[in-house]
Structure 1
């Protein structure tokens, strides 16, 4: 018991609020106001009319008249009159709030000269014996209220100046002169980053590259003894959510050297020259703490190509900041162990001078994770979750092609929320599948009103996709077909696409044919087409245009590409080809699409009975799976079968599926 009480006694002082000098100011201000209020209350007197005042003068009841601030008269009644006359009973009663020496009445006399002349006249005429005096009184509270607007303005000015100059890493302390100081957050031995390479799943190639940077900072003589030079910087490039910032944090945690972290937007300020000043201060601090690392996240905020769409000429503030950054990176000597890491998902807009050798010496591409890497990422993010025994990470990795690390983290969190919503004690496999449904397709709309005719059209449209993809060799394996509205879609066919590094012409054509099979089914069954194929048409048009203009897969146009992967084309016109070539491109795109549409019609006509059977089953059950298709069509003839665990009741879609919004 004694140990417990000691612990409680030790914790209680920590709960007390910290002392602040503002408390003293507040107490003094409160005392001043209270004193003034009590003073005002203690001097409360009754107002007096002119007739009553003249009556008092005539009866010689007034002992003293005190003119205050040449404005009002304070009237004091004689003690004999207070005791003998009934009309003075109210003012003669003692009170806690009233001072014994306070005047009994206040009389507003108007013009001072006339009032004094009248008093002198009546005093001599009526033989009155009152005393007359003059005094000045100061109202502290009134004076303070008068100055209050100016005090508030000064306080607001000080507040905004402190906010604008906001204390950076260099310790500006809120002074206006510190606005040019760097705003980078410093992590060193006192504020150590706990993230390590163990917390970064996948990204093996990227980790190898940055591991070399870590080794160099730990033992630079290993490299410099052979004549090697210090690398100036490394640029992490990749799609959003792939772990670029996480990888930089891991470098900081592994290297154990001072780590300056900031965003590209931290250099941007409303004042001219502030960005360049902050760059200088940042590199000065990093050099003082060498060896060290500078990490600039979203560097495209200041690193955009110069001279493009500049409306302010050569004196653009962002360009000045970039120029200073380029100068500082060149200004490093080989004996200063400072490395700059930067991250962006828009490398195509960066300035060429920033990307050249000698500045960012190496570019590390952080790509979307493959199958094995997705499994590793799942293993990291399921650690805080209470999992059921039926969770199959191998299958979840197969079901999420195209997911980034951030997407998988969101998927695990969504699965936990779904399990909690259903009052489960552990997160099960089905919760993960429902989470994929929720993330990819959106919320299920159970109350959406669809007419029987529309529902039948949707069923045949989705059955057309399923049928054509079953009999096309290179189409993605089908997983599920549904006509349940979800998100913006009225129905969808979900596939499990093969992860390919390159795509051949026949593979693209088979995918286009399967995509157009939805509209082809509507044409065959109803002899009418609808607007439900908008997403299909958009997809195939994009694919056909890419075949002709990007990948050089068209015989008539030839082995040409009109795609600029750098994003910094020097062309001064919109199309790098003639009008005749543009006409040829349009014709070839149309021929490709129409030929695949006709091919889809031929396949569906050949299997029309099975198409009808599948659509009727879909109308009955609303959701059908691969097993239902095998019952109708038999085993798929040409593909290697993907392994799908039999214990799952529901198989769901993935991010890069051939789904369509109808």
Structure 2
């Protein structure tokens, strides 16, 4: 208990030598500004008062300081007893043994001032002594010379401390420590609470990472069989899939020092700083070994060398990478230091960085499948107050292609939508609205659309829905809306089948359904509009992929121009001839036009149903799968799929 009480007491400010310098400087400046007023009772006076005191015979001596334009006035002993001079007869604040004047004044022209005093002396037969002198303010002169330099040096030190990583102490805090590592050392007891239980899905990646953590906890289990500790593991995958979250879980689970930093932390405006920070990072890790180093977004320094250095100059980033390569597997090999790194651009990394011995394992963190999405929903729904028991399987099916970060965003957006509607808890509809909000954007019900434009949008979206309903391999429709969302004037939601491989007929059906919108405009109005821009972009990319990447075109044959290493982006020439380029363009156009004609033919045959669907869409603005079933009936392909599933289930039961 005593320990807890001590930890709650306020911390005293740390002593700094700069405080002493500041106090001394303030005292010097204060004394200079105050002058002798603190040591004496000298009062300021005017020329007219001086003349009056002089006529009364109160002044014994006047010292004229010519270089300062001042006159010091000393009174006689008899004058000091007068009531009018009582103020200058008081004791000073600070005892002072020196001779000080009772009055001081600033005169104008010296000759006029002297003539006035001489005239009064002659008229009253006075014996007042008038002396002329010069004084030098050495302290003031020194301060006026030094203060500008002190100010400039102080500003320079402040700016350099800010540039080098903060005004506080520690690595990077001082100007001469700019080459020190910026890595943050995590303590599993205080700094992070994330564990492997908080990482849903990613079973394969977790297994690999857990093995590394287990190796550090219990190395004898592996070394007894002759195994060696892996040097590093590279987490690769699309953004939002949980690469950094896995690293946080390692920091929470590993009972060893965990150094975390970003690839950009090595980049600095000074030459050689990056390599110096790499050396310092590995030195700290070796001193605390066994240890783990995590470098997030390693492509900031790990990009392939010699690709973008057209000037021929010494590249600071390449020097940093060279030092990292040497530290990971150089002549003096580090022991018990594991490097974890994360990137979503593994294709641009240097080959020397990817080889075995440096990053022994490349762990691909893919987008979650339907089972993993359900687990991710379970994690992110823990803090959400729900109004009912949610069907997590349903939510997982509604979010195909979503990453873990997207699912976290869905849960948060659902809570915000429920709060906006003054609800006490979040229900199923809030989650569906959140998915629509993320996929399609914010609803813009107040957007001004003419009746003619609204009719065109309705037939466009109805065309998508009709064609996709008629095709076997097109994604089944969930709902259609003509309410503007984001940049789109209308939208159709589909629930695509999660396939690992795609066949040409499946791709062609999807392209035909995509062209259904423009085909509907052509069939109903014999006109086309600019509303199909996103559709055209999508089918063009799909057709180009069929021809140039997947080798699915009969005219070009089994050939691909795709480079998985990413080296093509640095070249200035195409990997095919001009004749082949012309043939590629022709085949892409041919594929798209064939599917466009196919969509027109389908809509011509079902023109009455297309019209009914569009009119219902104009009436309701949002229609669902049930509305399509009322117009078109059940999809024949769904019946066939259900029959196949029943047969398969029966076969499995018999085999059991």
Shorter-chain TM-score bucket reads: 0.7 to 0.9
SS of the equivalent of 1:639 reads helix
Over residues 105-133 of structure 1, what are the superposed CA-to-partner deviations in whole Å (9 max), with x where a residue is unaligned?
A: 62414348x86688568746863222345
- The aligned residue for residue 125 of structure 2 is 127
Question: Are 2:88 and 2:102, in contact at CA under 8 Å, matched by a contact in 1?
Answer: no
Question: Are 2:235 and 2:364, in contact at CA under 8 Å, matched by a contact in 1?
Answer: yes
- The aligned residue for residue 636 of structure 2 is 637
How much does 1:564 deviate?
0.6
SS of the equivalent of 1:560 reads coil
- The aligned residue for residue 62 of structure 2 is 65
CA distance in 1, matches of 2:640, 2:157: 71
SS of the equivalent of 1:305 reads coil
1:151 corresponds to 2:136: no
Over residues 219-259 of structure 1, what are the superposed CA-to-partner deviations in whole Å (9 max), with x where a residue is unaligned?
A: 22222222222211111001111111111121232221111
Change (3 A) 1:214 1:518: same
1:517 corresponds to 2:516: yes
RMSD between aligned residues? 3.7
Question: Are 2:172 and 2:180, in contact at CA under 8 Å, matched by a contact in 1?
Answer: no
CA distance in 2, matches of 1:96, 1:17: 47
CA distance in 2, matches of 1:607, 1:578: 44
Question: Are 1:290 and 1:338, in contact at CA under 8 Å, matched by a contact in 2?
Answer: yes
How much does 1:575 deviate?
1.5
CA distance in 2, matches of 1:116, 1:540: 103
CA distance in 2, matches of 1:16, 1:176: 26
How much does 1:372 deviate?
0.9
- The aligned residue for residue 651 of structure 2 is none
CA distance in 2, matches of 1:507, 1:545: 15
1:360 corresponds to 2:359: yes
Over residues 89-113 of structure 1, what are the superposed CA-to-partner deviations in whole Å (9 max), with x where a residue is unaligned?
A: 9x7685999989974562414348x
CA distance in 2, matches of 1:478, 1:355: 43
SS of the equivalent of 1:341 reads strand
CA distance in 2, matches of 1:13, 1:69: 65
How much does 1:389 deviate?
0.9
- The aligned residue for residue 550 of structure 2 is 551
How much does 1:24 deviate?
7.3
CA distance in 2, matches of 1:169, 1:18: 13
Matches within 5 A, 1:504-543: 504-543=503-542
How much does 1:196 deviate?
1.4
Question: Are 1:170 and 1:182, in contact at CA under 8 Å, matched by a contact in 2?
Answer: no
Matches within 5 A, 1:474-489: 474-489=473-488
Change (3 A) 1:11 1:603: same
CA distance in 2, matches of 1:364, 1:497: 27
Over residues 548-567 of structure 1, what are the superposed CA-to-partner deviations in whole Å (9 max), with x where a residue is unaligned?
A: 11111111110111111110
323-332 or 296-305, larger mean C-alpha shift: 323-332
How much does 1:74 deviate?
3.6
- The aligned residue for residue 217 of structure 1 is 216
CA distance in 2, matches of 1:567, 1:77: 96
How much does 1:506 deviate?
0.7
Matches within 5 A, 1:96-495: 103=102, 106-111=105-110, 123=121, 127-132=125-130, 136=135, 147-166=146-165, 171-172=170-171, 174-188=173-187, 193-313=192-312, 315-331=314-330, 336-495=335-494
Change (3 A) 1:269 1:168: farther
SS of the equivalent of 1:67 reads strand
- The aligned residue for residue 657 of structure 1 is none
CA distance in 2, matches of 1:475, 1:44: 100
433-442 or 617-626, larger mean C-alpha shift: 433-442
Question: Are 2:182 and 2:265, in contact at CA under 8 Å, matched by a contact in 1?
Answer: yes
CA distance in 1, matches of 2:89, 2:636: 105
How much does 1:176 deviate?
2.9
CA distance in 2, matches of 1:73, 1:590: 101
Change (3 A) 1:287 1:33: closer
- The aligned residue for residue 600 of structure 1 is 599
Change (3 A) 1:204 1:95: farther
Question: Are 2:237 and 2:365, in contact at CA under 8 Å, matched by a contact in 1?
Answer: yes
How much does 1:313 deviate?
2.0
Structure 1's unaligned 5+ residue stretches are 1-5, 644-662
How much does 1:192 deviate?
5.7
How much does 1:278 deviate?
1.4
How much does 1:172 deviate?
4.1
Change (3 A) 1:577 1:422: same
SS of the equivalent of 1:256 reads coil
Change (3 A) 1:132 1:147: same
Over residues 4-45 of structure 1, what are the superposed CA-to-partner deviations in whole Å (9 max), with x where a residue is unaligned?
A: xx9xxx799846874655777777777777775596697552
CA distance in 2, matches of 1:39, 1:640: 106
Change (3 A) 1:360 1:640: farther
Question: Are 1:63 and 1:130, in contact at CA under 8 Å, matched by a contact in 2?
Answer: yes
Question: Are 1:170 and 1:181, in contact at CA under 8 Å, matched by a contact in 2?
Answer: no
- The aligned residue for residue 648 of structure 2 is none
Question: Are 2:42 and 2:104, in contact at CA under 8 Å, matched by a contact in 1?
Answer: no
Structure 2's unaligned 5+ residue stretches are 94-99, 643-656
CA distance in 1, matches of 2:339, 2:168: 17
Question: Are 2:43 and 2:88, in contact at CA under 8 Å, matched by a contact in 1?
Answer: no
How much does 1:615 deviate?
0.6
Question: Are 1:216 and 1:223, in contact at CA under 8 Å, matched by a contact in 2?
Answer: yes
Question: Are 1:329 and 1:359, in contact at CA under 8 Å, matched by a contact in 2?
Answer: yes
CA distance in 2, matches of 1:173, 1:576: 48
Question: Are 2:440 and 2:486, in contact at CA under 8 Å, matched by a contact in 1?
Answer: yes
CA distance in 2, matches of 1:239, 1:130: 97
CA distance in 2, matches of 1:233, 1:559: 38
Question: Are 1:217 and 1:337, in contact at CA under 8 Å, matched by a contact in 2?
Answer: yes
CA distance in 1, matches of 2:56, 2:217: 104
How much does 1:152 deviate?
2.4
Over residues 173-193 of structure 1, what are the superposed CA-to-partner deviations in whole Å (9 max), with x where a residue is unaligned?
A: 733332222221112467564
Question: Are 2:180 and 2:280, in contact at CA under 8 Å, matched by a contact in 1?
Answer: yes
Question: Are 1:169 and 1:184, in contact at CA under 8 Å, matched by a contact in 2?
Answer: no
Change (3 A) 1:448 1:192: closer
CA distance in 2, matches of 1:227, 1:436: 51
Change (3 A) 1:95 1:239: farther
CA distance in 1, matches of 2:629, 2:259: 59
How much does 1:440 deviate?
1.6
CA distance in 2, matches of 1:314, 1:109: 68
Kindly indicate whether structure 1 or structure 2 has the higher relative contact order, using CA contacts under 8 Å at least 6 residues apart: 1
TM-score by length of 1: 0.85
